[in-house]
Amino acid sequence: MVLSSASSKSIVESPPTDLWENENLSQIPFKVFRGHQSGVTSCQFCCDGKNILTSSKDGTVRLWNTDRGKVVHTYQGHMLPVTRATMCVNDKNKMLSSSWDKSIKLWDMENDKVTWQALHEGIVTFCDIASDGKLAVSASDFDNAVKVWDLRDGSLVQELHEHHQSTPTCCVFSPNSQRIATTSMDRTTKIWDLLSQRVTVKLSGHKNIVSSCCFSSNERYLGTTSWDKTLQIWDISTGMFRSQGAINLTKGHDGSVSCCKFSSDGQCVVSGGYDSSIIVWETEKKSKKIVLKGHDGWVTGVDISLDGKWILSSSGDKTIRVWNIEAADHIPAVIENRRAMGLKIVQCEKCSKPFSIAQCDDPLEISTCVFCRLADPQRNQLPSL
């Protein structure tokens, strides 16, 4: 590796010719951000992709410049480890953080001030902000509580006592801000409807602690990760999970899976685990696309940029990594893996991107990828009689 002269304390950048250990044909450019004094507990791309938000066991939240790899600002105020920090989608000046010190704080990021603070009676394990910017949610290990707050003033809107039978590990809003998904050490995942104020979905497919969950952008799927070493994808829009269960993505991580995130188009889901690796899965094919290795500790958080070109990861090794997967479809290891699954790799005649077709399909008949075919206005016209 080569130390960047721009900021040797904050960023380490690998030359593009580096080959991954045990991934002999993979070439993925990456950057390493250093600065936290203890394990990093969460990471998030800011809306514009130019900045990164991280939280740490060192009690701080940090805002980083993605290109320069420098810390823009460090937010201090929590007395104990910070479990998560997340930004408001429609107001980039608002940030919510949760901590072992039993508090959640809403920050005015520009002025480095706490707008309001609210308390739980136990450690706050997770927090999230609704995409419409109206509500916040947090979970605590005391009486397994989940609380919903008014983001404007921190007033309590809803309180769910004994929502789970054991400690909630994650709580996230659905993209439409109308539901909250929670995971727990009791091995279940629940979806709470804010309007009807009741649990509308309960998932019980994991065999160990459920560590995290994420919605797909269209809200059809919910991904869940567990200490049972699996990532499960649930079709929650049609109710198919009740009869068919989840899609199990196994044979990936060699240990507990701690976090997951769907890409904005839903084509991929990324997971991170105790084995220090990040796996990019192809949702439709239910298979691994690529494995990213380099962290020296448990991967605690993952995120994907809106354009799908970058993956962000945080780890107990005190670092954050940014991985460029833009050219992943051209990597020999990925191509060979698809061929082994009985797929051909052909190039789209319109956008020039590689895409997969079954071995039995005629590449002369299928010459464009699914996205170009969907964008073709001719596909919606009725055939002539």
One domain for residues 304 and 261: yes
Residue 371: domain span:
342-379
Residue at 337 is within a domain: no
105-132: average pLDDT? 98
One domain for residues 131 and 257: yes
Residue 154 φ then ψ, to 5°: 80, 10
One domain for residues 264 and 309: yes
Q: What is residue 326's predicted lDDT score, i.e. its pLDDT?
A: 86
Domain CATH number, residue 268:
2.130.10.10
The tokens describing 69, both together, are 């790899």
One domain for residues 308 and 373: no
In the sheet that holds 51-56, the strands lie side by side as 40-45, 51-56, 60-65, 71-76
Residue at 385 is within a domain: no
pTM of the model: 0.81
pLDDT tops 90 at residue 49: no
* Residue-averaged pLDDT of the chain: 85
One domain for residues 373 and 247: no
Q: Which residue would you say has higher pLDDT here, 29 or 97?
A: 97
67-92: average pLDDT? 95
Residue at 77 is within a domain: yes
One domain for residues 91 and 211: yes
One domain for residues 351 and 307: no
Q: What is residue 251's predicted lDDT score, i.e. its pLDDT?
A: 84
- For the stretch 138-186, pLDDT in tens is 999 988 999 999 999 999 999 998 899 999 999 999 999 999 999 999 9
One domain for residues 248 and 352: no
Q: What is residue 22's predicted lDDT score, i.e. its pLDDT?
A: 35
Closest Cα to residue 285, out of 333, 241, 339, 322? 339
β-strand pairing of 124-129 with 287-293: unpaired
Lowest mean pLDDT among 111-125, 213-227, 241-255: 241-255
Residue at 257 is within a domain: yes
Residue at 336 is within a domain: no
HSE-CB at 169 with a 13 A cutoff on CA atoms is 25
Give the total number of structural domains in the chain: 2
